[in-house]
Amino acid sequence: MATQLKNLSDFSNTTIPNAGAYRFGIVVAEWNAKITGALYEGAYKSLVENGALEENIFTHAVPGSFELTTGADLILQHKKVDAVICLGCVIQGETRHFDFICAAVANGVTNVAVKYVKPVIFGVLTTDNEQQAIDRAGGKHGNKGVEAAVTAIKMADLAHQLQN
């Protein structure tokens, strides 16, 4: 969780494996595009900076965060990837819609990961307001997209190590 003490983009306390051997899917929600675009830029840049080949990164857009689950499932059905990164942003509104969407996406991402036995990364901001989202999409708390990319690399590497 991003707080005054944690920056989502700070990985100085850990080793990030080289991502050159892995293939990644990224599914990004179009809803809240200003935020999700920044998450995507952070994730993509982080994958490449850590050795992923651009031709091994497959990006697909979906209308909103609710559709991230289906997007991840479709990528895993049709592409040979080692991990899928789901990027979205749900901002609290005046109704309970927020609660239903957040729960559905979190459960859906987990279910897709279990179904395929592949890392499916929850890079979804669930914030109270737009400023909190901005702060976590390249603002003062770093970029959740970077965190999601590093998580994908580390999980792909863990799966590879356990298979060998």
d(CA 48, CA 24): 11
**Cα-based torsion angle of the residue sequence 61, 84, 10, 144 in order, rounded to the nearest 10 degrees:** 40
Catalytic one of 60, 78, 97, 160: 97
**Contact call for residues 163 and 23 (beta carbons, < 8 A):** no
* Beta-bridge partner residues of 122: 86
Active site residue 160: no
d(CA 37, CA 20): 24
**Contact call for residues 67 and 29 (beta carbons, < 8 A):** yes
The residues carrying an active-site annotation are 97
